[in-house]
Amino acid sequence: DTAVSQTPKYLVTQMGNDKSIKCEQNLGHDTMYWYKQDSKKFLKIMFSYNNKELIINETVPNRFSPKSPDKAHLNLHINSLELGDSAVYFCASSQEHGDISHFGEGSWLTVV
Amino acid sequence: QKEVEQNSGPLSVPEGAIASLNCTYSDRGSQSFFWYRQYSGKSPELIMFIYSNGDKEDGRFTAQLNKASQYVSLLIRDSQPSDSATYLCAVIPSNTGKLIFGQGTTLQVKP
């Protein structure tokens, strides 16, 4: 049973489209995150939610909008996709804020 | 100055040797330090965390923390080809709650 699951795993889409990535964790953790890993493999935090409340919002274009309907789910919606949005997006969770113990398998987004 | 710095490598060691991976961080007040392993095409996996100065051992892995020098390292004893991966150092700077990653060091263990 996967602790942190993301869908879809692969996504190829055209510039200008809107897409969503979903994440669910079954660990009972209070905090969930979105990280972006670029082509140089650098992992950068985008957002963090604690019990459905947004607590970290990095300098991310407002085309990216996270939503947490409950503490087990964190979704990422991206409007007007650009070529530079191509990356791997990882969802993660932790019990203590910041101490990430589990990552999802990643969502490979390619914008063409 | 980057918040967390690692040498990107690759670091190449023969099988059975000790691999030493190093990381420096910029925020002197940082309290929590982590090492993750990431195989190509996979997600990061937590290997170890360390909060106090000194050494922490777990199997073939030892994490070392020196807060005065703002330096954290990971030693892998008896390196195996299956240890070949990218090792990510991560730090939570003081009062941020944000886990900040270094760029990772690629380790190659040659049979």
Whether B97 sits inside 8 A of A56 (CB atoms) is yes
CA-based nearest residue to A97, from B87, B75, B32, B78: B32
Q: How many CB pairs under 8 A join A and B?
A: 49
In this complex, the residue of B49, B90, B103 whose CB is nearest that of residue A41 is: B103
Residue A52 reports pLDDT greater than 80:
yes
**Between residues 42 and 61 of chain B, which touch chain A (CB distance below 8 Å)?**
42-46, 49
- φ/ψ of B83, rounded to 5, equals -80, -10
Give me the pLDDT at residue A41, please. Answer: 85
Token readout for A98 is: 């910041």
Query: CA of B50: which chain A residue's CA is closest?
Result: A99
Whether B97 sits inside 8 A of A40 (CB atoms) is no
In this complex, the residue of A40, A44, A103 whose CB is nearest that of residue B43 is: A103
Q: Is the pLDDT higher at B97 or at B56?
A: B56
Residue A83 reports pLDDT greater than 90:
yes
Token readout for A47 is: 């957002």
Angle at B111 between CA B104 and CA B88, to 5 degrees: 10
pLDDT one-digit tens code per residue, B55-95: 999 999 999 999 999 999 999 999 999 999 999 999 999 88
